[in-house]
Structure 1
Protein backbone atom coordinates (compact mmCIF):
# COMPACT_ATOMS: atom_id res chain seq x y z
CA UNK A 1 0.00 0.00 0.00
CA UNK A 2 1.14 3.50 -0.73
CA UNK A 3 1.30 6.17 1.93
CA UNK A 4 -0.35 9.52 1.28
CA UNK A 5 2.11 12.41 1.24
CA UNK A 6 -0.46 15.21 0.98
CA UNK A 7 -4.08 15.07 2.18
CA UNK A 8 -6.37 17.00 -0.19
CA UNK A 9 -9.79 16.45 1.40
CA UNK A 10 -11.20 14.60 4.38
CA UNK A 11 -14.75 13.31 4.69
CA UNK A 12 -15.95 12.70 8.25
CA UNK A 13 -18.92 10.87 9.68
CA UNK A 14 -20.24 10.25 13.17
CA UNK A 15 -22.57 7.26 13.25
CA UNK A 16 -24.76 6.02 16.07
CA UNK A 17 -27.09 3.04 16.03
CA UNK A 18 -30.56 3.79 17.35
CA UNK A 19 -32.54 1.23 19.30
CA UNK A 20 -35.77 2.96 18.20
CA UNK A 21 -36.62 1.16 15.01
CA UNK A 22 -39.32 2.09 12.56
CA UNK A 23 -38.51 -0.69 10.11
CA UNK A 24 -36.95 -4.10 9.83
CA UNK A 25 -33.43 -2.66 9.61
CA UNK A 26 -33.64 -0.04 12.34
CA UNK A 27 -32.57 3.57 12.11
CA UNK A 28 -29.11 5.04 11.65
CA UNK A 29 -28.12 8.65 12.31
CA UNK A 30 -25.21 10.11 10.30
CA UNK A 31 -23.62 13.52 10.77
CA UNK A 32 -21.44 14.67 7.87
CA UNK A 33 -18.90 17.45 8.10
CA UNK A 34 -16.32 18.98 5.83
CA UNK A 35 -12.84 18.97 7.25
CA UNK A 36 -10.66 21.89 6.34
CA UNK A 37 -7.74 23.87 7.56
CA UNK A 38 -7.26 27.60 7.22
CA UNK A 39 -5.80 27.09 3.75
CA UNK A 40 -8.50 24.60 2.72
CA UNK A 41 -11.78 26.35 3.55
CA UNK A 42 -14.67 25.45 1.28
CA UNK A 43 -17.32 28.02 0.40
CA UNK A 44 -20.70 27.23 -1.12
CA UNK A 45 -22.20 30.30 -2.81
CA UNK A 46 -25.84 30.21 -3.99
CA UNK A 47 -26.03 26.42 -3.59
CA UNK A 48 -26.86 24.18 -0.69
CA UNK A 49 -23.81 22.44 0.80
CA UNK A 50 -23.45 18.91 -0.49
CA UNK A 51 -21.35 16.01 0.73
CA UNK A 52 -18.02 15.18 -0.83
CA UNK A 53 -17.41 11.73 -2.28
CA UNK A 54 -15.20 10.99 0.73
CA UNK A 55 -18.11 11.82 3.05
CA UNK A 56 -20.49 9.61 1.12
CA UNK A 57 -18.03 6.72 1.21
CA UNK A 58 -17.43 7.26 4.93
CA UNK A 59 -21.20 7.41 5.53
CA UNK A 60 -21.93 4.20 3.64
CA UNK A 61 -18.97 2.41 5.22
CA UNK A 62 -19.89 3.59 8.73
CA UNK A 63 -23.52 2.47 8.32
CA UNK A 64 -22.40 -0.99 7.21
CA UNK A 65 -19.62 -1.26 9.79
CA UNK A 66 -21.86 -0.14 12.67
CA UNK A 67 -24.40 -2.79 11.68
CA UNK A 68 -21.58 -5.36 11.53
CA UNK A 69 -20.53 -4.49 15.10
CA UNK A 70 -24.13 -5.01 16.20
CA UNK A 71 -24.27 -8.38 14.44
CA UNK A 72 -20.98 -9.58 15.92
CA UNK A 73 -21.99 -8.37 19.39
CA UNK A 74 -25.31 -10.23 19.14
CA UNK A 75 -23.54 -13.42 18.00
CA UNK A 76 -21.11 -13.17 20.93
CA UNK A 77 -23.92 -12.14 23.32
CA UNK A 78 -22.18 -8.88 24.21
CA UNK A 79 -24.69 -6.15 25.05
CA UNK A 80 -23.82 -2.87 23.34
CA UNK A 81 -24.34 0.44 25.13
CA UNK A 82 -26.90 2.87 23.74
CA UNK A 83 -24.13 5.45 23.21
CA UNK A 84 -21.94 3.25 21.01
CA UNK A 85 -20.66 5.23 18.02
CA UNK A 86 -18.25 5.09 15.10
CA UNK A 87 -16.38 8.06 13.68
CA UNK A 88 -14.75 7.55 10.30
CA UNK A 89 -12.48 9.92 8.44
CA UNK A 90 -11.68 9.19 4.81
CA UNK A 91 -8.77 11.13 3.34
CA UNK A 92 -8.28 11.70 -0.35
CA UNK A 93 -4.61 12.28 -0.81
CA UNK A 94 -1.79 12.37 -3.24
CA UNK A 95 1.66 10.87 -3.49
CA UNK A 96 3.45 12.25 -6.49
CA UNK A 97 0.92 12.27 -9.33
CA UNK A 98 -1.10 9.34 -7.90
CA UNK A 99 -4.27 9.66 -5.79
CA UNK A 100 -5.08 7.40 -2.84
CA UNK A 101 -7.55 6.97 0.01
CA UNK A 102 -6.88 6.23 3.66
CA UNK A 103 -9.24 5.76 6.59
CA UNK A 104 -9.26 6.34 10.33
CA UNK A 105 -11.89 4.74 12.57
CA UNK A 106 -12.67 5.68 16.13
CA UNK A 107 -14.97 3.05 17.60
CA UNK A 108 -16.56 4.03 20.93
CA UNK A 109 -18.07 1.22 22.97
CA UNK A 110 -18.30 2.66 26.50
CA UNK A 111 -18.54 0.28 29.39
CA UNK A 112 -17.28 -2.78 27.48
CA UNK A 113 -13.90 -4.26 28.42
CA UNK A 114 -11.14 -2.99 26.11
CA UNK A 115 -10.13 -6.45 24.87
CA UNK A 116 -13.76 -7.38 24.14
CA UNK A 117 -14.40 -4.09 22.32
CA UNK A 118 -11.25 -4.55 20.23
CA UNK A 119 -12.32 -8.08 19.27
CA UNK A 120 -15.76 -6.77 18.24
CA UNK A 121 -14.18 -4.00 16.14
CA UNK A 122 -11.80 -6.44 14.43
CA UNK A 123 -14.51 -9.06 13.81
CA UNK A 124 -16.80 -6.40 12.33
CA UNK A 125 -14.12 -5.60 9.72
CA UNK A 126 -14.05 -9.30 8.81
CA UNK A 127 -17.75 -9.34 7.86
CA UNK A 128 -18.41 -5.75 6.69
CA UNK A 129 -18.52 -5.77 2.86
CA UNK A 130 -16.97 -2.27 2.68
CA UNK A 131 -14.07 -3.32 4.93
CA UNK A 132 -13.53 -6.44 2.86
CA UNK A 133 -13.67 -4.45 -0.39
CA UNK A 134 -10.83 -2.12 0.63
CA UNK A 135 -8.75 -4.65 2.59
CA UNK A 136 -5.19 -4.45 1.33
CA UNK A 137 -6.02 -1.50 -0.92
CA UNK A 138 -6.02 1.43 1.51
CA UNK A 139 -4.49 2.11 4.92
CA UNK A 140 -7.08 1.72 7.70
CA UNK A 141 -6.27 2.73 11.28
CA UNK A 142 -8.67 1.71 14.06
CA UNK A 143 -8.77 3.22 17.54
CA UNK A 144 -11.14 1.60 20.05
CA UNK A 145 -12.30 3.68 23.03
CA UNK A 146 -14.17 2.14 25.95
CA UNK A 147 -14.10 4.96 28.51
Structure 2
Protein backbone atom coordinates (compact mmCIF):
# COMPACT_ATOMS: atom_id res chain seq x y z
CA UNK A 1 0.00 0.00 0.00
CA UNK A 2 1.33 3.37 -1.00
CA UNK A 3 0.80 6.10 1.58
CA UNK A 4 1.28 9.84 1.08
CA UNK A 5 1.93 10.75 4.74
CA UNK A 6 0.58 14.16 5.78
CA UNK A 7 0.92 13.81 9.56
CA UNK A 8 2.99 11.77 12.00
CA UNK A 9 2.92 11.49 15.77
CA UNK A 10 4.98 9.43 18.14
CA UNK A 11 4.20 8.20 21.64
CA UNK A 12 6.51 6.54 24.13
CA UNK A 13 5.65 3.97 26.79
CA UNK A 14 7.81 3.67 29.91
CA UNK A 15 7.67 1.52 33.00
CA UNK A 16 5.94 -1.82 32.74
CA UNK A 17 3.90 -1.22 29.58
CA UNK A 18 0.39 -1.94 30.82
CA UNK A 19 1.58 -0.81 34.24
CA UNK A 20 3.54 2.31 33.36
CA UNK A 21 3.14 5.60 31.53
CA UNK A 22 2.53 6.82 27.97
CA UNK A 23 3.32 10.23 26.59
CA UNK A 24 2.96 11.60 23.09
CA UNK A 25 5.70 13.67 21.49
CA UNK A 26 3.29 16.63 21.40
CA UNK A 27 2.71 16.33 25.16
CA UNK A 28 -1.09 16.42 24.68
CA UNK A 29 -1.32 12.79 25.77
CA UNK A 30 0.40 12.13 29.09
CA UNK A 31 -1.21 9.26 30.99
CA UNK A 32 -0.53 6.53 33.49
CA UNK A 33 -1.38 3.06 32.26
CA UNK A 34 -2.70 0.35 34.54
CA UNK A 35 -4.23 -3.03 33.84
CA UNK A 36 -8.00 -3.01 34.36
CA UNK A 37 -9.39 -4.78 37.41
CA UNK A 38 -10.67 -7.56 35.12
CA UNK A 39 -7.03 -8.33 34.30
CA UNK A 40 -5.81 -8.22 37.88
CA UNK A 41 -4.79 -4.57 37.93
CA UNK A 42 -5.84 -1.55 39.93
CA UNK A 43 -7.84 -0.04 37.07
CA UNK A 44 -6.59 3.40 38.15
CA UNK A 45 -5.14 4.39 34.79
CA UNK A 46 -5.97 3.98 31.17
CA UNK A 47 -5.01 0.92 29.13
CA UNK A 48 -4.19 0.15 25.50
CA UNK A 49 -7.70 -1.11 24.75
CA UNK A 50 -9.30 2.03 26.15
CA UNK A 51 -6.99 4.22 24.08
CA UNK A 52 -7.66 2.14 20.97
CA UNK A 53 -11.44 2.32 21.44
CA UNK A 54 -11.30 6.10 21.85
CA UNK A 55 -9.12 6.59 18.78
CA UNK A 56 -11.23 4.24 16.66
CA UNK A 57 -14.49 5.95 17.72
CA UNK A 58 -13.18 9.43 16.89
CA UNK A 59 -11.68 8.31 13.60
CA UNK A 60 -14.83 6.45 12.53
CA UNK A 61 -17.04 9.44 13.33
CA UNK A 62 -14.71 11.56 11.22
CA UNK A 63 -15.06 9.05 8.38
CA UNK A 64 -18.87 9.29 8.60
CA UNK A 65 -18.61 13.08 8.26
CA UNK A 66 -16.16 12.79 5.34
CA UNK A 67 -18.42 10.39 3.45
CA UNK A 68 -21.47 12.54 4.17
CA UNK A 69 -19.73 15.67 2.88
CA UNK A 70 -18.86 13.87 -0.34
CA UNK A 71 -22.45 12.72 -0.78
CA UNK A 72 -23.97 16.05 0.29
CA UNK A 73 -25.78 14.40 3.22
CA UNK A 74 -26.32 16.34 6.45
CA UNK A 75 -25.07 14.38 9.45
CA UNK A 76 -27.34 14.88 12.46
CA UNK A 77 -25.61 16.94 15.19
CA UNK A 78 -26.27 14.22 17.76
CA UNK A 79 -24.60 11.46 15.72
CA UNK A 80 -22.40 9.24 17.88
CA UNK A 81 -20.01 6.35 17.40
CA UNK A 82 -19.15 4.02 20.26
CA UNK A 83 -16.42 1.42 19.87
CA UNK A 84 -16.24 -1.41 22.37
CA UNK A 85 -12.94 -3.28 22.37
CA UNK A 86 -12.63 -6.76 23.82
CA UNK A 87 -9.35 -8.31 24.97
CA UNK A 88 -8.69 -11.99 25.55
CA UNK A 89 -6.56 -15.05 24.98
CA UNK A 90 -6.18 -16.70 21.59
CA UNK A 91 -4.58 -20.00 20.60
CA UNK A 92 -1.26 -18.22 20.09
CA UNK A 93 -1.30 -15.40 22.65
CA UNK A 94 -3.69 -12.50 23.07
CA UNK A 95 -6.04 -10.63 20.78
CA UNK A 96 -8.72 -8.00 20.54
CA UNK A 97 -12.04 -7.54 18.78
CA UNK A 98 -14.19 -4.47 18.23
CA UNK A 99 -17.87 -3.61 18.07
CA UNK A 100 -18.77 -0.33 16.38
CA UNK A 101 -22.18 1.14 17.19
CA UNK A 102 -23.09 4.17 15.08
CA UNK A 103 -26.19 6.20 15.92
CA UNK A 104 -27.49 8.70 13.36
CA UNK A 105 -30.80 9.93 14.84
CA UNK A 106 -33.26 11.30 12.33
CA UNK A 107 -31.81 9.65 9.23
CA UNK A 108 -33.59 6.91 7.34
CA UNK A 109 -32.28 3.47 8.49
CA UNK A 110 -31.18 2.41 5.00
CA UNK A 111 -29.44 5.73 4.34
CA UNK A 112 -27.69 5.58 7.71
CA UNK A 113 -26.52 2.00 7.10
CA UNK A 114 -25.17 2.94 3.67
CA UNK A 115 -23.30 5.92 5.13
CA UNK A 116 -21.81 3.80 7.93
CA UNK A 117 -20.80 1.03 5.51
CA UNK A 118 -18.96 3.57 3.33
CA UNK A 119 -17.31 5.08 6.42
CA UNK A 120 -16.12 1.59 7.38
CA UNK A 121 -14.38 1.37 3.98
CA UNK A 122 -12.80 4.83 4.40
CA UNK A 123 -11.76 4.84 8.10
CA UNK A 124 -8.00 4.25 8.60
CA UNK A 125 -8.66 2.21 11.77
CA UNK A 126 -11.09 -0.01 9.87
CA UNK A 127 -8.56 -0.41 7.08
CA UNK A 128 -5.80 -1.27 9.55
CA UNK A 129 -7.89 -3.89 11.33
CA UNK A 130 -9.75 -5.38 8.34
CA UNK A 131 -8.98 -9.07 8.15
CA UNK A 132 -6.93 -8.90 11.35
CA UNK A 133 -9.60 -8.73 14.06
CA UNK A 134 -13.34 -9.38 14.25
CA UNK A 135 -15.28 -6.12 13.89
CA UNK A 136 -19.04 -6.02 14.41
CA UNK A 137 -20.83 -3.04 12.89
CA UNK A 138 -24.31 -1.86 13.92
CA UNK A 139 -26.25 1.23 12.90
CA UNK A 140 -29.24 2.79 14.63
CA UNK A 141 -31.30 5.87 13.90
- Is the pair's TM-score, using the shorter chain for normalization, greater than 0.5? yes
Q: 1:98 Cα shift? A: 2.2
1:130 to 94, 101, 125: 125
CA distance in 1, matches of 2:92, 2:123: 31
Residue 71 of structure 1 is matched in structure 2 by 66
Larger relative contact order (Cα-Cα within 8 Å, sequence gap ≥ 6)? 1
Does the CA contact (< 8 Å) of 2:36 and 2:42 recur in 1?
no
Instruction: For residue 56 of structure 1, give the secondary structure of its aligned residue in structure 2.
Output: helix
Is 2:105 the partner of 1:110?
yes
CA distance in 1, matches of 2:79, 2:70: 17
Q: Which has the higher strand share?
A: 1
Q: 1:43 Cα shift? A: 3.4
Q: 1:41 Cα shift? A: 7.9
Is 2:90 the partner of 1:95?
yes
For each residue in 1:94-115, what CA deviation from the matched residue of structure 2 results, as whole angstroms up to 9, or x when unmatched?
A: 1345211100011000010111
Structure 1 alignment gaps of length 5 or more: 1-33
Question: What is the total number of aligned residue pairs between the two structures?
Answer: 107
Q: RMSD value over aligned CA atoms?
A: 2.1
Residue 139 of structure 2 is matched in structure 1 by 144
CA distance in 1, matches of 2:74, 2:131: 31
For each residue in 1:118-137, what CA deviation from the matched residue of structure 2 results, as whole angstroms up to 9, or x when unmatched?
A: 11111111111111011000
Structure 2 alignment gaps of length 5 or more: 1-34
